[in-house]
Every structure is written in C-alpha cells, then in structure tokens.
Amino acid sequence: MLGMPKLISAVRAVPAPACPAADPLPGATTDSDCSISEPEIGNSMRPRTLLRVLLTERGCGHFATFEEEFTRSARQAAVKLNRPDLATVTASQATWKRWLSGDQTPRSDAAAVLEFMLGVDVETLLRTAAERGVVLPEIAPSTARDVARFLNARFDTSHLNPMGRVPGMEGVWHLEGQRFFDGTSVAVQIYEATEQDGRVVIGPHHHPHIQAFTRATRRALVLGALGDDGLYALDAAHARRQLAVTVETLPISTPYEIDDLTYGLLWAMLNLDDSLSADDHALHAEQQMLEPLWAQRRSAVARAAIPELTNVGSVWLGMYFCAEHIIRRLDEDTRAPVFWTPVRTGEEAAVWLFFASWPQFRLALRERLADGDPAPERVFCIPEDNSRASQPYERILIWLTVAMMERGGQTTWVCVEPRYERIDGFVLVPGRRVISASWSDSSGIWHVDTTDSFTDVSAYAQVVDHARRQSVTSGDTSEERLRSLADHLDLDWDWLVRRCRELGAYGIAGMLRPRSRLISVEELEQVLCYVGEFDAD
C-alpha cells in the first residue's frame, strides 16, 4: 500500500516511501557520503533540478536506494519497451552525483531507463524545478505508463500522456477526431484503486491530491486503476461532490469501467461537447439569421461561409436547419413518412445520441403527424465496408443510434449496399413529396430541397422499397431487429445488453457531464435502459 501524499516544493521536499529508505532534507548534512545533500554535489547555491526533486520525493536520496530503484526500472523497461539491452544498464555513484549536479546529461540507454523510471524526459529532468508547493499523486510511473499503453493500444483515437512534465501537473488524454470530430483533450489523473465489497474505491490517502486536482473548473477525469482488472472513469466534478460528503473512500461505479461501450461514449461526448462549447456564441448569432431562409424550398450554405465554426459546430447548425426545414414542409395530415439516414461512421451516429435538438425535433414531428397513423419508418444506409473496418466502439455508437430510433417507435431497416452510399438524407412522404436534407457533407453546412414531382417521388420510393427488401436486419420486434443488426456489426449481443443494463440502471452522469447547453445525455440514458430490458442468453 502506498503511503500518504506529501506536500513538496523546490525548496523543501518531504519523501514518499517509493524506495526503501528515506533521504535527509535537501541541504541537510549526513554521515553518509551516498545521500543527496548540498555539500555533496558541490555548489549549494546551484538551482535544484527536477531530477533532484523527483528522486527526493520518491525517497531515493541515498545512492543505495537509487541504485536499487534504477536497476529494477532497467529490468522493467527491457520488457515493457521490448529492448532486452536495457536489462543490464547500471549507473555508478559518480555518474549519479554528476546527474544530480547537472554536470552530466544522461544519454543513450541510461537516459531511456531514467525516463522510464520517472516518467519524464531527460531534458525536462535537468531543468530547474518550479519554486512552488504541490501535492503529488501516489502512483508509480510504471503503473501510469501501463494504463496509457493499454488505452492507446486498444483505441485508435486515444493518446494518453499519463504524467505531467512538472511534479503535481496532471496528465492529458488526447481524443482524436476522424471524419469531422475536431479532436479534444481532457486533463486526467490516474490513481491506484482497490476493490472493497464489490465496489471500486480510491482510498483516503489519495484524497488530498484528488481534492487539489478537482478544484479547478476545467473539465477533468479521475481514472481509477484496479491492477490488471480494469480501469474506471469518474468526472472530476462528480468526484469533487463525492469528497465533500465522505471522508473515507471515493467510490467509482463498476459500470464506469472503460471498455468499448464507455470509451465510445466518452470519446463522442467529449469531442461534441467541447466543440459546441467553443462555438456557443457563434451558433447563437447564426441562429438569429436563419429566418429569411425558412421560406425557401431550396437552399445551401458552404462550409467556407462560416469559417469560424468548428467542424462539430457546422454539423450542429446544419442538422438544426435541416430539421426545421423538414418540419415546415410536412403537412398536418402527413401519413407515415419514411426517413433515409446515411450513417458512415460512429461520429455521424453520435450526433443523434447527444445533440439536445433531436428530442425537440421528435416532439415537433409527433405533433405534426396525423393522430392514430403508423409511426414513421427509418432506413439507415450504413455502408458495409465502412462499418466492418471501424473499431468496435464506433460500431456500438451506430447500433445505439438505431436502438434510439426503435425506442421512439420507428421501425428501422439497414441498407449496406455501396451504390446507395452517395444518396443524401431525405424524407419520403409516400405518393406526395420528397424533402431532401443533408448536413453531413464536409464541403457544406447544409443542402435542402423539396420536390412534388411524381417522377422524383416514384424514384425515391423505389430506393426505399429496395432497401427494405435487402435490409440486413429482420424481425417483427425491435429486439429481433436490433439483435440481427448486432450480429451484422459483429457485436456480442449478450455483453452489449448486459453492459447497457448496468450503465442505464446506474446512470452515466457521474462519468459524462455535459457542459454545453446543446448537449444532453437524457436520451442516451433512456436508450441504455430500453436496451437493458432485452433478453440476454
């Protein structure tokens, strides 16, 4: 068990028991010539390096303890970095002193081992340490690196840098975009967790650092590492509230384990939320200027027309305009329209799950349609090559989006034929009208059109009929159709239903906390609960 976190500064550092023996306070004298002390390294007026501060904090102030830690790190680095030559790397006492004094820079294999041991590059280690007090997290650099390797190897959009370049500074988790996500990053801190009575908890000895880490108002995530048994995520604001009412352990719900489901949700919501927060003022201004366009049967706006918007902001504005265009062109006695929805990636699917404008559109659509008539149908065009080549977490986002439509009463069909990939979104009012509405084109924010031409309506009706007949999903119930879609997307039905049930029952607010007013998780939570009611073998 790791010890209590210590307050350190570049002037006075209290050791943490990472090494067997503690070192004397910097600047103090010692009977041994193998400890870190100012007389030993020469000029007592020389600024303290980050290397010196980190070794002091880790309790490696004596050469004997440093040598033991360095040798152990060399063996671990040889395995973790797949470099067998590092296993025999050592450092003499004279070299150690020159490193501490700044008279010699670690190079080659020795530098690789030192960076692996401390989690900081050599150039930074030899810089002057900041003259400020910080609360250090208690986690071994090797554990933090293992967590980063796990996430970065498993998820192709994950790039976790687990440790800051200065003591007390948190790590950064970069979440890359693909087709239109702008990419974002979130502050993270990893803590070693334990399991108690079926719960994952972070012990009270970590609380001083957690309180310091979560005090800032910026978005952040607390990650609890349960050895080889999983990694769990908690929103920093939720952790702050939890610590305000408990002095014992900080619990993390077991459904918050990071796997393909939760990573996909984190990746999507953080990207969408951060981009929309950045665009909030610009989007509000653009909304006020749309009124003259509502009366037009056809309109289009190029992406270059509003260059200040992020990619996600452009998608939000395009989807908002298309939804309003559709509602205004549906008669009050419209009967059972069919929606054609192209979904090429998990990014495109995610907007339906998280944009707060979708529930508003669904309510407006229900009010527009004739009472007692069949619910709308929806055909998803999901090109097979795209979906099969995507990561599991993206396919789960697509699957959840289809489940959301089914939950809303819409019968869904899934077309995977490549030749239909280029058909933009549209609404077919059988025998009467086609309303085209596209917002996912990278070159344009939206493109809408309306036609009552019998020839055009018939052509679109043929497309819909063919898609129904060739759908890869089948079944008389939502559960049967969603099960067949899971099979097509190569998703484990039993696992997916079980995880949705767990996450839906507990709620996701502790892991995902929207900041933008344009993002909502309520619809997603309802979808998770809906799916959780299905049978799992």
Structural domains of the chain sorted by starting position, each given as residue range(s) with its CATH number in brackets: 7-135 (no CATH), 141-258 (3.40.1350), 276-496 (3.30.870.10)
Question: Among 95-99, 262-266, 502-506, which stretch is predicted with the lowest mean pLDDT?
Answer: 95-99
Q: The whole model's pTM is what?
A: 0.78
- φ and ψ at residue 16, rounded to 5 degrees: -100, 145
Strand partners for 62? 35
Mean pLDDT of the chain: 84
- Average pLDDT for residues 466-490, to the nearest whole number? 93
Question: Among 68-77, 335-344, 371-380, 510-519, which stretch is predicted with the lowest mean pLDDT?
Answer: 371-380
Q: Which helix (H) or strand (E) holds 396?
A: helix 392-407
State percent of the chain over pLDDT 70: 85
Question: Among 174-178, 385-389, 437-441, 501-505, which stretch is predicted with the lowest mean pLDDT?
Answer: 385-389
What is d(CA 481, CA 498) in angstroms, rounded to the nearest whole number? Answer: 18
Question: Among 155-164, 178-187, 409-418, 479-488, which stretch is predicted with the lowest mean pLDDT?
Answer: 155-164
More confident residue, 270 or 114: 270
What is d(CA 86, CA 109) in angstroms, rounded to the nearest whole number? Answer: 6
Helix (H, G, I), strand (E, B) or coil at 225: strand
- φ and ψ at residue 326, rounded to 5 degrees: -65, -50
More confident residue, 56 or 267: 267
Residue 449: pLDDT over 80 = yes
CA-based torsion, 496, 501, 503, 504: positive or negative: positive
What is d(CA 526, CA 403) in angstroms, rounded to the nearest whole number? Answer: 10
* Of residues 1, 13, 19, 54, the one with CA closest to residue 164: 54
**Are the C-beta atoms of residues 511 and 234 closer than 8 Å to each other?**
yes
Which residue bears the tokens 């904090």? 57
Question: Among 45-54, 264-273, 389-398, 499-508, which stretch is predicted with the lowest mean pLDDT?
Answer: 45-54
Residue 441: pLDDT over 50 = yes
